[in-house]
Structure 1
Amino acid sequence: MRNIATCYSEHAVRVSDSYCSGPLNKSYISPKSNPSIQNVVSCTYKTHISNQKRLYVTISWCSKMICQGFFIKISEKIPRENHYQHGFHQLPKIKGTKSLQDFSSDLKKKLSITVHWDLSAADFEAGPEPIRGFYIVVLVNSRYALVLGDMEIDPALKDLVDGLVLPKVTLVSQCEHYKGQWNSEISSKAKFSEIGVEHEIMIKCWQEEDGPQSPVLSVYIDKKRVVRIKRLQWNFRGNQVIFVDGLLVDVMWDVYGWYFDQTVGGFNSNKGGCGFIMFRTRSGLDSRLWLEEEENKLSDQNLGKPEFSLLICATQ
């Protein structure tokens, strides 16, 4: 899949209005809509194992119908691949310890990587990601790289890692995949900054007064509508700026597959293609959408890159 921001640089319908949950704060949720089913969640964390060494650890959770357990990848750059592509290792057991050598092809040298995990008492809600009663501990070169969960670590593991210093870990990106009808509600949660609060996000696409050929895409944050896109048959790609927690956030959408995926019939069929909605914060130095080349260059310099992104993929 091409980088979503690159598509916008060539074909985007630019929307210049910027608001702070102001003119579109009317809350409306159709009672006839059914929620989409979340089946994959991938979270990428930035961690420092030393003053000079920065790594990205991606954890992908899948519904039990797809697989059991989780996938993990460690990289020196933010991965752009999906959960099933190269570099990911599946850890299918409920509890265990696994050592992984020569972990990823994009690492410049081999690292000693060990993963300890326990999902035996994990508590799940609607999605594939556990919310409590589990832990994942990743050690790189005998240093903490990532600690997730709220469950007490096994005594044997605690003795192994006792005295190690926990690194600063930041969630830099999150990718969620949903399955449902094109007019299903998509509900998610996200924090757009480390010091911000968690916000409820709802995405809804339904038909308004213009008829069945002109559905409207709306985005709600904390039950307030902040984005409303009409005539999606023309505005199937675009972006709009909103303010959240004092931050500029680009909301980008690409629902071309919902309309023009001829292999499955589009809106007039019982099936349809895939739509993408991305939320991405801008850094203080940024004044426009990033192109992939610019983002990679500044990422290497650790300057001006987006701090957090949430990508939602909706497949019919």
Structure 2
Amino acid sequence: MEETNSPVPGNNKPEESTATGNSGGKTTPQCSVIIVYKAKIGNKLRRVTVVWNKTLINHSLSISVDGSGGSCDPPSTCRVDLKPWPFWSKKGFKSVDVGDHRVDLFWNLRHAKFSGGGSPEPTGSYYVALVSGEEVVLLLGDLKKKAYKRTKARPSLDDAKMVLKKENVFGKRSFSTKARFDERKREHEIVVENSISGVNGKEDAEMWIRIDGIVMMHVSNLQWKFRGNETVMVEGSPVQVFWDVHDWFFGGPGMGQALFIFKPGAAAATAMATALAEMALMEEEEENEERSESDLSWSSENEGKQQVVAEQNECGDGSSEFCFMLCAWRVEK
């Protein structure tokens, strides 16, 4: 490992961290953050999928809760539009029956703060609370006291577990995000950089992955090593890093997508990582299709594309190990 001196000029410039619009005739995906939790609702562990989406004209939050299982009981989903709808929609309350159990959703996003990097997920001054059986089974945000006061519910005896986080970022040579590999530890800054420039600059390409300012990985001849995996140590703990940057080189004109998977723990089977990457890449286009502009109502319609991604990309062998997936969309111009 080596202390970072940014190997790529122009690192972390605002124009290189996010991008919007169409390029090369391809549809621009939404800027999105998908987080999957397992929460105990009605004496049963259920998957709760939180999706933050942002486009040029809209900014929304949707939360899906698994039903009792089976095609006749699809997830129940609530959508909250933060922009451009009126101020009142940023605070509210809704209820729904999930199986035989009532679930209440409370949210207050009126003063939510967001990072300057363009991420649709708030960084503070908000809460989103899911309540079942007079217990807060899932609580997001830092306004915890206000959330408990508003919901009049007690903390759950079984904490919700985050099992997957997936984020889309856009750039040209530098892609940055933040992730927590262990909920008990601090958040880490992740920066992926590449030396690709233009059509003819893909020869002898290199890639660097930095975590908290330290170069953890350096891949040379990236055009031939566009898929791979490596183990890095973060604060004394192993983290498996898998990458697939095939489309950066062979995806045709316009935007090319790369996938990076960060999985804490001991080395996993390469076949598992490869299958994970292939599934995510195949489904990404479906996942980023425009959602219907619905009002603030619970619905039983199947927002299945997000749910399928969550189910198939959940990492590990049934354990609760966390998995972070970074989809890096490279913009040529």
Structure 1 position 55 matched with structure 2 position 37: no
Corresponding residue for residue 144 of structure 1? 136
1:199 corresponds, among 176, 188, 194, to 188
Structure 1 position 175 matched with structure 2 position 143: no
Q: Quick check: 1:144–1:167 contact (8 Å CA) kept in 2?
A: no
Aligned residues: 263
Corresponding residue for residue 91 of structure 1? 80
Structure 1 position 72 matched with structure 2 position 63: yes
Q: Which amino acid is 1:147 matched to?
A: L
Corresponding residue for residue 247 of structure 2? 257
The answer to which structure has the higher helix fraction is 2
Corresponding residue for residue 18 of structure 1? none
Secondary structure of 1:291's counterpart equals helix
Corresponding residue for residue 246 of structure 1? 236
Corresponding residue for residue 305 of structure 1? 319
Q: Quick check: 2:135–2:153 contact (8 Å CA) kept in 1?
A: no
Secondary structure of 1:231's counterpart equals coil
More displaced 10-residue stretch of structure 1: 242-251 or 161-170: 161-170
Shift of 1:141: 4.1
Matched ranges for 1:232-243 at <5 A:
232-243=222-233
Q: Which amino acid is 2:123 matched to?
A: I
Output the CA distance in 2 between the equivalents of 1:55 and 1:291: 24
Q: Which amino acid is 2:322 matched to?
A: F
Distance 1:275 1:68, change over 3 A: same
Shift of 1:277: 0.9
Q: Quick check: 2:48–2:66 contact (8 Å CA) kept in 1?
A: yes
Output the CA distance in 2 between the equivalents of 1:90 and 1:260: 36
Structure 1 position 122 matched with structure 2 position 112: yes
Structure 1 position 44 matched with structure 2 position 36: yes
Instruction: Give the gaps of 5 or more residues in structure 1.
Output: 1-21, 78-85, 103-108, 266-270
Output the CA distance in 2 between the equivalents of 1:194 and 1:244: 14
Distance 1:62 1:288, change over 3 A: same
Corresponding residue for residue 189 of structure 1? 178
Output the CA distance in 1 between the equivalents of 2:210 and 2:223: 21
Output the CA distance in 1 between the equivalents of 2:131 and 2:80: 15
**How big is each residue's C-alpha offset from its partner over 1:146-171, in whole Å with a ceiling of 9 and x where there is no partner?**
1122236669x736524454641332
Q: Quick check: 2:48–2:64 contact (8 Å CA) kept in 1?
A: yes
- So what's the TM-score if we normalise by structure 1? 0.71
Secondary structure of 2:10's counterpart equals coil
Q: Which amino acid is 1:37 matched to?
A: T
Distance 1:290 1:244, change over 3 A: farther
The sequence identity of aligned pairs, in percent, is: 26
Corresponding residue for residue 231 of structure 1? 221
Shift of 1:110: 4.5
Q: Quick check: 2:52–2:121 contact (8 Å CA) kept in 1?
A: yes
- So what's the TM-score if we normalise by structure 2? 0.67
Shift of 1:135: 1.0
Q: Quick check: 1:49–1:143 contact (8 Å CA) kept in 2?
A: no
Distance 1:178 1:164, change over 3 A: closer
Output the CA distance in 1 between the equivalents of 2:100 and 2:5: 52
Q: Which amino acid is 1:200 matched to?
A: E
Q: Which amino acid is 1:96 matched to?
A: G
Shift of 1:238: 1.1
Output the CA distance in 1 between the equivalents of 2:319 and 2:152: 33
Structure 1 position 278 matched with structure 2 position 261: yes
